[in-house]
Amino acid sequence: MVVVLSVKLAEATARLAEAEQTIVRLKHEILLLKHWRYGRQSEKSADATGSLFAALEEEAAPMVIEDVAEEEGPSAKKKGAHGRRTLPADLPVERIVVEPSPEGKVCAPCGTEKIAIGEEIRRELDYTPGTLFVREYARPVLRSV
How far is Cα 140 from Cα 19, in angstroms, rounded to an integer?
Answer: 78
- Quick check: 70 and 111 in contact, CB under 8 A? no
Range of the domain at 55: 2-40+48-72
Q: Can you give the pTM of this predicted structure?
A: 0.39
Same domain membership, residue 58 and residue 22: yes
The three-state DSSP-derived secondary structure of 34-69 is HHHHHCCCCCCCCHHHHHHCHHHHHHHHHHHHHHHH
Quick: pLDDT tens for 44-99: 555 555 555 565 555 555 544 444 444 455 555 666 667 878 888 888 999 998 88
Q: Are residues 99 and 136 in the same domain?
A: yes
For residue 75, the model assigns a pLDDT of 56
Domain co-membership, 56 together with 13: yes
User: In the structure, what pLDDT confidence band is assigned to residue 4 with cuts at 50, 70 and 90?
Assistant: very high
Taking the C-alpha atoms of residue 95 and residue 109, their distance in angstroms, rounded to an integer, is: 33
**Domains of the chain: total:** 2
* Residues 59 and 117 both lie in one domain: no
| Residue 10 pLDDT | 95
Residue pair 71/63 in contact (Cβ under 8 Å)? The answer is no
pLDDT in tens, 6-54: 999 999 999 999 999 999 999 999 999 998 888 877 665 555 555 555 6
Residue 38 is predicted with a pLDDT of 87
CA distance 104 to 143: 10
Judge whether residue 126 has pLDDT over 70: yes
Q: Name the 3-class secondary structure at 124.
A: strand
**Start-to-end C-alpha separation, the chain:** 116
